[in-house]
Amino acid sequence: MSGDRLERLTAEADIRQLVARYAVCLDKRDLDGLVALFVPDVQVGRDTTGRRALHDSFATQLATVGVTILNTGTHQIDLGGPGAEDLATGHVYCKAEIQDGDRWIHQAIRYDDTYRRVEGRWLFVRRIHRLFYGAEVGENPLALAPANWPAGHTGMGTLPFEDPTWQDFNSGQDSTAPTDDTGRPL
């Protein structure tokens, strides 16, 4: 395998891991991990830059929703090419499940991404969240009785409520849904 081809495959694998880490960090409410996936000079809004501003923006946005489950799939990546080896763009398809108060929402999303390699590490420059649709589903799974896995196959599980970052994020939040001391809905 030629060096160029190996470099391309490595870059694509690294960018796919970047996208996967975004989904996991967001769902766990690991905001420090989440903002570390972006370039240090990330543009936040019209007049603000930097990871601290991005952290605050994510904290504000995520305070309005409960549990999220992002499942990424199709990922098309275009590397920058000669003279732009540290730049790339991509489109990521995502199916999301989102707690919105008492409602449970399904969304189909496409993220339009710009990536840049900084000190050998691929990071997001920008993510544009583009919505195909969002629809409420009939039954909110957070209202189910505990599944008690593996004894029971249906019902409420323990994630994300047992994740320490989820607990930290929710310890200072004024939530619309009553929760126990781990952030799990009552």
Question: Is residue 121 predicted with pLDDT exceeding 70?
Answer: yes
Q: With bands split at pLDDT 50, 70 and 90, how would you rate the model's confidence at 2? A: low
For residue 63, which of 177, 180, 185, 173 has the smallest C-alpha distance?
173
Per-residue pLDDT reduced to its tens digit, 33-43: 999 999 999 99
Count up the domains in the chain and report the number: 1
Q: What phi-psi label fits residue 165: left (phi over 0), alpha (psi between -120 and 50 degrees) or beta?
A: alpha
pTM, 2 dp: 0.86
Peptide bond into 40 cis (omega under 30): no
For residue 11, which of 83, 65, 87, 64 has the smallest C-alpha distance?
87
170 within a domain of the structure (yes/no): no
71 within a domain of the structure (yes/no): yes
Structure token pair of residue 105: 């929402």
Secondary structure letter of residue 146 according to DSSP: B
CATH of the domain at 29: 3.10.450.50
| % the chain with pLDDT above 90 | 70
Per-residue pLDDT reduced to its tens digit, 63-77: 999 999 999 999 999
Question: Is residue 81 predicted with pLDDT exceeding 80?
Answer: no
Domain ranges, residue 38: 3-142
Secondary structure letter of residue 50 according to DSSP: S
Q: What phi-psi label fits residue 29: left (phi over 0), alpha (psi between -120 and 50 degrees) or beta?
A: left
51 within a domain of the structure (yes/no): yes
78 within a domain of the structure (yes/no): yes
138 within a domain of the structure (yes/no): yes
Backbone angles phi, psi at 8, to 5 degrees: -65, -45
148 within a domain of the structure (yes/no): no
